[in-house]
Chain A
Amino acid sequence: MSLRGHNRGDAAHVPVERYLIVSIDARRFALSADLIQGLLTPEESRSSGTLSVQGRDYAPLNLAARLGLADSGDGPESRIVLVARAGVCACIRVEQVHGLVELERSHVRPLPDQFRGDERAWYTGLILFDEGVAVGLNSDWLVGGLMQSLGAVTGHVQRPPQLAQVGFDGMRKGLPC
Chain B
Amino acid sequence: MLRGAVGRQRQASSRRCHLLVFSVGGRKLAAKTEEVGGISAWTTSISVPSCTPFVSSVIRRGQSIFPVYDLAGMLNVRVKGSQRLCLMAKQPAGAMAICIDEEMPVLHSLDIAKIQTYRGQDLDAAGCFADEFEEVPIISLSRLGAA
User: A residues bordering B, Cβ < 8 Å?
Assistant: 26-28, 67-69, 109, 112-119, 122-123, 126, 128, 131-133, 135
Contact status of A114 and B65, CB under 8 A, knowing A132-B60, A133-B46, A133-B58: no
B55 and A27 within 8 A (CB): no
- Which of A113, A119, A132 sits near B49, CB closer than 8 Å? A119
Q: Chain A residues with Cβ under 8 A from B96's Cβ?
A: 112, 114
A119 and B50 within 8 A (CB): yes
A131 and B60 within 8 A (CB): yes
Whole-angstrom distance between the Cβ of B61 and the nearest chain A Cβ: 11
| A28 (CB) vs chain B CBs: closest residue | B46
B49 and A27 within 8 A (CB): yes
A115 and B49 within 8 A (CB): no
A126 and B94 within 8 A (CB): no
In the bound complex, CA of A131 to CA of B94 (Å)? 22
A114 and B55 within 8 A (CB): yes
A115 and B94 within 8 A (CB): no
In the bound complex, CA of A69 to CA of B48 (Å)? 10
User: B residues bordering A, Cβ < 8 Å?
Assistant: 46-52, 55, 58, 60, 63-67, 69, 91, 93-94, 96, 145
A114 and B49 within 8 A (CB): no
- Which of A118, A131, A133 sits near B51, CB closer than 8 Å? A118
| A131 (CB) vs chain B CBs: closest residue | B60
11 contacts between A and B (CB under 8 A): A112-B66, A112-B94, A114-B96, A115-B55, A116-B145, A117-B50, A117-B51, A119-B51, A126-B48, A126-B58, A132-B60
In the bound complex, CA of A99 to CA of B51 (Å)? 28
B47 and A115 within 8 A (CB): no
Whole-angstrom distance between the Cβ of B90 and the nearest chain A Cβ: 12
In the bound complex, CA of A171 to CA of B66 (Å)? 28
A115 and B52 within 8 A (CB): yes
- Which of A116, A119, A128 sits near B48, CB closer than 8 Å? A119
